[in-house]
Structure 1
Amino acid sequence: MIATKDSTKKSMYENVMQQFNKTADAIDLNPNIRKILSITNNEIILHFPVKMDNGEVKIFTGYRVQHNNALGPYKGGLRYHPTVDVEDAKALAMWMTWKTSLAGLPYGGAKGGIQIDPRDYSIGELERLTRRFTYALGDNIGPDYDIPAPDVNTNEQTMAWIADTYMLTKAPSERSNSLNVVTGKPIGSGGLQGRDRATGFGVFLTIKLLHESRKESLKGKKFIIQGYGNVGYWTSHFLIKEGAILIAVQDAHATVYNEDGIAVEDLFEHCKPRKGSISGFEGAVEIDPESFFGLECDILVPAALGNQITEENAFMVKAKIIAEGANGPIDVDGEKILLENGITIIPDILCNSGGVIGSYFEWLQNRNGELWELEEVMYKLEKKLSEVFKKVEGVVIEGKIDWRTAAYILAITRIEMAYVQRGVFP
């Protein structure tokens, strides 16, 4: 079963700081820049009231952490989940800074959300909650300052509510150019063709590129997915087109297995009326969730929450490749075990960066008043991701190091250069 928080384990923030310090030591990062990058710029905590369907008023807590904007506006998702807190948001915001830098985008990093389980609320309540949160954020977001996007349990509808609320609460002169305050919007509200599949496509593409670099095919490769939301589904969708076989899926409710292959589209249709749950799917058998990571397979895609693979279960993993569809799904101690066992890890800041690259395209489309066709978007996305992959691969080969370290070196070096060239005010 997908793990929730455990106070005895390392937090995601502890993990991201260990990763950062390891890289800073490796590249002999300027000590002053190291101080700047080791902390967040802003940590916003908001408490706001929302009226429920029954007339009761509840108080909710929302977060927005802005880590760094040396390269451009803050960028990062908003998630609705019971585990959302300021510490996790700090970790996720820092990862976004590295991710946007690695991708060569003119963005910094941010993250946030609301501490709720959205399944407990009606659509009307979620809309009022989202609009009130947007109002509370005020000028802490903006198309040239901080640009949210969908994340866990948020979607294009959430983004449409945010964009509409933001524009309606601004002066008339500001409204016409505020549509790109968020990305991941519905197509009819300024969204980008293909944005829905961009993250999953990126996960798939990095897996494919890794196999190609090893002169291998994806045909017949068996893979397992943790999390069958947007990222898990689209990753599976593209992998099976290349002949790979999905044999197991795990979510918060069940773990299903079929050694002959799970029908990706059938499972997707099964989840729709069940709020995303894979439980009860007839095309596979339910198995013990504790056995999931130990299944015999070629590729493991953790695409749910952070800190899923730790020193307690890393030894079980039999996959040869782990592609991080989620942010921070492997903690530092778990990663040591995996690397010692010869497992290749495609790190989150590379593997799932298709989403933020797609967001950049949407942001540009809105700013320039353009409309891009799906074929153009997918071509640009594949080109950009392939370029970044090759850069990371070059550092891996040259330095004889793991993929995460290589990706971090490239990401942090780019930010260091920006500070060296611009200086530190005053």
Structure 2
Amino acid sequence: MTTVTLNKQSKKAKVKGMMDNVMEQFNSAADYIELHPNIRKILSITNNEIVVHFPVKMDNGDVEIFTGYRVQHNNALGPYKGGLRYHPTVDIDAARALAMWMTWKTSLAGLPYGGGKGGIQLDPSKYSHGELERITRRFTFALADNIGPEHDIPAPDVNTNSQTMAWMADTYMSTRPPAERTANQHVVTGKPDGSGGLEGRDRATGYGVFLTIKFWCERNNEKLENKKFIVQGFGNVGYWASHFLEKEGAKLVAVQDASGSIRNSNGIKVEDLFNYTKINNGGVTGFPESFDLDNEKFFTSECDICIPAALGNQITKENASLIKAKLIAEGANGPTNVEGEKILLERGVTIIPDILCNSGGVVGSYFEWLQNRNGELWQLDEVIAKLDKKILESFNKVFEYSNRESMDLRTAAYCIAIKRIEKAYIQRGIFP
């Protein structure tokens, strides 16, 4: 489990920026499509906000109190869906912003889901494996009445992984009556292959990032071969996106993570770097086939494609004008704030928005949910083929809407996502 800490802003500044970003993006699209005022009111707030405080006994016998969050933004299209992250910046406002982004993401992907998000405010690097298991199980127990396979389905996010999800699933199922336990396996997604997980779920988000870049190049009559790209965050998303881009002939030239930044204009071998991080506490610094780079200079690296795949608010008005890339592919949620985006768009830089670019993860989660629900086992080639089809459908809708309406890809994606939710409310009406 790799801890990600990149943004140097205070927690207060970060959270305020995330909420401002998601609301400004929402309101801009809502204005454009002339969203019904009543539906705008509903989508501007969350449905439910759960805060739990729970005690956990540490390895030394001391008891520590943790605070966990789960925000359920909207479920007009289906059960709440979204990740749980373990990070010091997690709080109710951050969870609100991330839950709203999930609502737009699942809607855009055409999934029968709404949006939710949450996590625990902690730095997982400070706790042992056993402590993290007890923290996760106690958090799951505290949330048990607020999640469920047909109500709210968590998944991995920053600093959580398939092991975290296995602990959650086991704990949740243990709280159910014996006859219902196996029927609740799909309460979470992102589980290990041997515990109901989907083969290929580990790479789904990064693969989706790669696919959207590939589709964009094809639509613009460009080839990925020899394109130079940089990646911020070399965890699950950054690694797999890099893996597939390199297979297409693109060249990784700079990487930044919590340990620092590295660069090699001649190219960094993705698998060699990945193997190095496994023996270097997950960090990229010191990789032999590179030289260290000042963190402030990372975004100034010469490249064609930039993939921010770490945390939110990484591209801002302070550094947006320094970015050399002509294409930004948002592997993380909310990595570009509103001010930074305006600068990039004015400079002619294309941004593949997060709710499209990194949607492979939630699409993969949907496949896992279906697999568990139907008692099936899907093979990797079947999963990849389904991801290809689903993400291409979403990309084409956004690209064509963007061209037709002469707008940026993010606004186009939001318009499509919000219109689908609006349609559901118009057809169903408001109770009572």
- Indicate the TM-score class for this superposition, using the shorter chain for normalisation: over 0.9
Among 166, 174, 178, the alignment partner of 1:168 is 174
Percent identity between the aligned chains?
Answer: 70
Among 195, 215, 223, the alignment partner of 1:189 is 195
> Who is 1:3 aligned against?
7
Matched, 1:89 2:90: no
Q: State the shift of 1:173 in Å.
A: 2.8
Among 217, 230, 241, the alignment partner of 2:236 is 230
Matched, 1:57 2:66: no
- 1:17-32 alignment, distance < 5 Å: 17-32=23-38
One-letter code aligned to 1:224: I
Question: With structure 2 as the length reference, what TM-score do the two structures score?
Answer: 0.97
Q: 1:8 to 1:103 in 2, by over 3 A?
A: closer
Matched, 1:423 2:406: no
Matched, 1:106 2:104: no
One-letter code aligned to 1:196: D
Q: State the shift of 1:14 in Å.
A: 1.1
- 1:199-348 alignment, distance < 5 Å: 199-348=205-354
Paired with 2:6 and 2:86, the residues of 1 have a C-alpha distance of 16
- 1:405-416 alignment, distance < 5 Å: 405-416=411-422
**1:106-149 Cα distance to aligned partner (Å, 9 max, x none):** 00000000111111000000000000000000110100000000
Paired with 2:176 and 2:9, the residues of 1 have a C-alpha distance of 38
Among 120, 128, 151, the alignment partner of 2:126 is 120
Q: State the shift of 1:8 in Å.
A: 4.8
**1:24-43 Cα distance to aligned partner (Å, 9 max, x none):** 11111000000000000011
- Structure 2, unpaired ranges of 5+: none
> Who is 1:156 aligned against?
162
Paired with 1:422 and 1:277, the residues of 2 have a C-alpha distance of 50
**1:160-219 Cα distance to aligned partner (Å, 9 max, x none):** 000000000111232121000000000000000100000000000000000000111000
Aligned residues: 426
Does the 8 Å contact 1:49/1:60 carry over to 2?
yes
Q: 1:106 to 1:24 in 2, by over 3 A?
A: same
Deviates more, 1:259-268 or 1:6-15: 6-15
Paired with 2:401 and 2:305, the residues of 1 have a C-alpha distance of 23
Paired with 1:112 and 1:270, the residues of 2 have a C-alpha distance of 31
Paired with 2:202 and 2:269, the residues of 1 have a C-alpha distance of 20
One-letter code aligned to 2:35: L
Paired with 2:94 and 2:380, the residues of 1 have a C-alpha distance of 34
One-letter code aligned to 2:126: D
Secondary structure at 2:183's aligned position in 1? coil
Matched, 1:39 2:33: no
Q: State the shift of 1:295 in Å.
A: 1.0
One-letter code aligned to 1:17: M
Aligned-residue CA RMSD in angstroms?
Answer: 0.9
> Who is 2:363 aligned against?
357
Q: 1:424 to 1:4 in 2, by over 3 A?
A: farther
> Who is 1:74 aligned against?
80
Deviates more, 1:400-409 or 1:171-180: 171-180
Does the 8 Å contact 1:311/1:333 carry over to 2?
yes
Paired with 1:48 and 1:36, the residues of 2 have a C-alpha distance of 31
Secondary structure at 1:250's aligned position in 2? strand
Paired with 2:130 and 2:157, the residues of 1 have a C-alpha distance of 20
Which aligned runs of 4 or more in structure 1 are off by greater than 2 angstroms? 4-10
Does the 8 Å contact 1:5/1:83 carry over to 2?
no
Paired with 2:165 and 2:6, the residues of 1 have a C-alpha distance of 26
Paired with 1:254 and 1:173, the residues of 2 have a C-alpha distance of 50
Matched, 1:141 2:147: yes
Q: 1:8 to 1:230 in 2, by over 3 A?
A: closer
One-letter code aligned to 2:308: P
Secondary structure at 2:279's aligned position in 1? helix
Paired with 2:185 and 2:342, the residues of 1 have a C-alpha distance of 44
**1:230-272 Cα distance to aligned partner (Å, 9 max, x none):** 0000000000000000000001111000000001011111111
Secondary structure at 2:413's aligned position in 1? helix
One-letter code aligned to 2:6: I
Paired with 2:82 and 2:395, the residues of 1 have a C-alpha distance of 21
One-letter code aligned to 2:364: G
Among 401, 405, 419, the alignment partner of 1:399 is 405
One-letter code aligned to 1:18: E
Q: State the shift of 1:296 in Å.
A: 1.0
Paired with 1:232 and 1:47, the residues of 2 have a C-alpha distance of 33
Paired with 1:42 and 1:278, the residues of 2 have a C-alpha distance of 39
**1:73-103 Cα distance to aligned partner (Å, 9 max, x none):** 0000000111111111100000000000000
Secondary structure at 2:417's aligned position in 1? helix
Question: With structure 1 as the length reference, what TM-score do the two structures score?
Answer: 0.99
Paired with 1:102 and 1:390, the residues of 2 have a C-alpha distance of 11
Does the 8 Å contact 1:77/1:149 carry over to 2?
yes
Does the 8 Å contact 1:296/1:319 carry over to 2?
yes
One-letter code aligned to 1:63: Y
Q: State the shift of 1:283 in Å.
A: 1.5
Q: State the shift of 1:279 in Å.
A: 2.0
